[in-house]
Amino acid sequence: MLYEPTGYDHRHWPQSYWRASCAGLPAFPPLNGETQAEVAIIGAGYAGLNAALELVERHSANVVVLEAAQPGWGASGRNGGFCCLGGARLDTGQITRRFGQDAAKEWDRFTHDAIARVQDNLARYRIDAQTTEPGELTLAASPRAWAKMRAETLGEGAALLDRNALRANGLSTATYLGGTYNPAGFGLHPYAYATGLARAAQMAGVRLHGDSRVTRITSQAGGWRLDTATGSVVAKQVLIASNGYSSEHLVPWLARRILPAISNVMVTRPLTPQELEAQGWTRHLMAYDNRFLLHYFRLLPDNRLMYGARGGLSFEPASVARFAQRARAEFDLTFPHFKQAETEFAWNGLVCMTATRAPFIGPVPAQNGLWLALGWHGNGVAAASEGGRRVARAIMGSPQAAPALARRPLPRFVAPRKWALATGMAFAGLIDGPMKVQA
């Protein structure tokens, strides 16, 4: 584990707004005794549950899902609810230069398919995920960032908005000089989506077990054996879909190939109409800035403001409290008319990055029947949903199902990861500079 055990303690749920505002599901029972399956999946998040649904619905496979806690405990139930383009920390130009135009186009199709996948899931499985208005706003926090944004070519349906246009569109802040609106994506309730998928998987015939942390994976004739504290599964194929919460000791190949990073979220009390009008932020639109240590935020259906920030190197209470204080100060700077709106919920969790700066969706090299789908770089609502579907197709015999960008085996991080993360954050902080009120 890269961080303190408290960050991985499945006995304790984060004190999140999402779980407090959603009925959730009855607990899925632990695995008890020995069983067999065609495919065993570790992780009942977006990737694992979508893979399970694809395997059962399209291939009538016998599937067991093992979750260390309960569905929605991990990143799938504690993220910001941004169903948006993304999943890699590479832009179109970078992908084109490194891997060619075809790879860039293929990845672009994948990211749009991923949003459509979530829309289809919500409709098909009748999941009420409290979706908000379509589109996403990228905001510039400095003159240099605004100049770069103005020089970029806009995609179809996109629009460049200066400060006056932001104000006129109900998107006014004190710290951003302008932004780009992209029509793709929408906001949702991430825990409602995750638990809705779990319910759908159960109804489709997936055997889903909670409180079933896998303690050992061993190869045996014709497949793999997965052991938990109370049972075991023998399966021909195994998919690890636990993202930043993956246990690297289970699969030695995975060691030092992922970089879990802490992301922090807070939610205010409901804002009054007067506060919203005074600030000039009245839209229920996903928004984030283009800082290296980004901030992401959106107005929820009940007019609470959700505000997220990347950063922090520890789950120790004192460290968490310091970062929460800093994030709240940046929130107050950005939304001065919301200063009196106290924080009612605050929590954190792990996003998962890789050295390729892209997800990995494919087989573990030299480990026949062992698969991975992880590394969504903080944009897993859509990307992990479609990634789960694609890895399921690969498992069932379509090795080219995932985009080429995500099929590249992950190299190991050379430097100690926590040191590299701390160095990267310090460097990013120097580049970003402090947040400022813009005149």
Run of H or E including 52: helix 46-59
**Predicted confidence pLDDT, tens digits, the chain (439 residues):** 899 999 999 999 999 999 999 988 899 999 999 999 999 999 999 999 999 999 999 999 999 999 999 999 999 999 999 999 999 999 999 999 999 999 999 999 999 999 999 999 999 999 999 999 999 999 999 999 999 999 998 989 999 999 999 999 999 999 999 999 999 999 999 999 999 999 999 999 999 999 999 999 999 988 999 999 999 999 999 999 999 999 999 999 999 999 999 999 999 999 999 999 999 999 999 999 999 889 999 999 999 999 999 888 999 999 999 999 999 999 999 999 999 999 999 999 999 999 999 999 999 999 999 999 999 999 999 999 999 999 999 999 999 999 999 999 999 999 899 988 888 888 888 778 888 898 7
Structure tokens at 188: 């949702």
CB 139 within 8 A of CB 435: no
Exposure letters 180-212 (e unless 16+ CB within 10 A, then b): bbbebbbbbbbbbbbbbbbbbbbeeebbbbbbb
The DSSP call for residue 281 is B
Write out 375-394 in H/E/C secondary structure. Answer: CCCCCHHHHHHHHHHHHHHH
- Which residue ranges form the domains of the chain, and what is each CATH number? 5-80+191-257+355-414 (3.50.50.60)
- Could you tell me if 36 and 176 are in contact, meaning their C-beta atoms sit under 8 angstroms apart? no
Using an 8 Å Cβ cutoff, are 364 and 374 in contact?
no
The pLDDT of residue 431 is 79
* The residue type at 131: T
Tokens of 7: 């960050």
Task: Encode pLDDT of 63-73 as tens digits.
Answer: 999 999 999 99
Whole-angstrom distance, CA of residue 74 vs CA of residue 93 = 32
CB 267 within 8 A of CB 344: yes
User: Under a CB-based contact definition with an 8 Å cutoff, are residues 64 and 209 in contact?
Assistant: yes
Structure tokens at 131: 């979706």
Question: Would you state the pLDDT for residue 434?
Answer: 86
| pLDDT score for 1 | 83
Confidence (pLDDT) at 438: 86
- Tokens read off for 98: 């490194």
Phi, psi of 320 (to 5 degrees): -60, -45
Closest CA to 277 of 343, 338, 339: 338
What are the CA-CA distances from residue 337 to residues 157, 163, 267, 334 (Å)? 31, 17, 15, 9
- Looking at residue 13, its pLDDT comes to 95
Sign of CA dihedral 118, 120, 126, 129: positive
User: Quick one: tokens of 135?
Assistant: 């589109």
Structural contact between residues 324 and 342, judged by C-beta atoms closer than 8 angstroms: no
How far apart CA 327 and CA 381 sit, in angstroms, is 23
Burial of 236 (0-12, 13-18, 19+ CB in 10 A): middle
Q: Which residues pair with 39 in a beta bridge?
A: 63, 237
What percent of the chain is helix, strand and coil (3-state, nearest 5)? 35, 25, 40
pLDDT of residue 298: 98
Q: From the CA atom positions of the chain, what is the Rg in Å?
A: 21
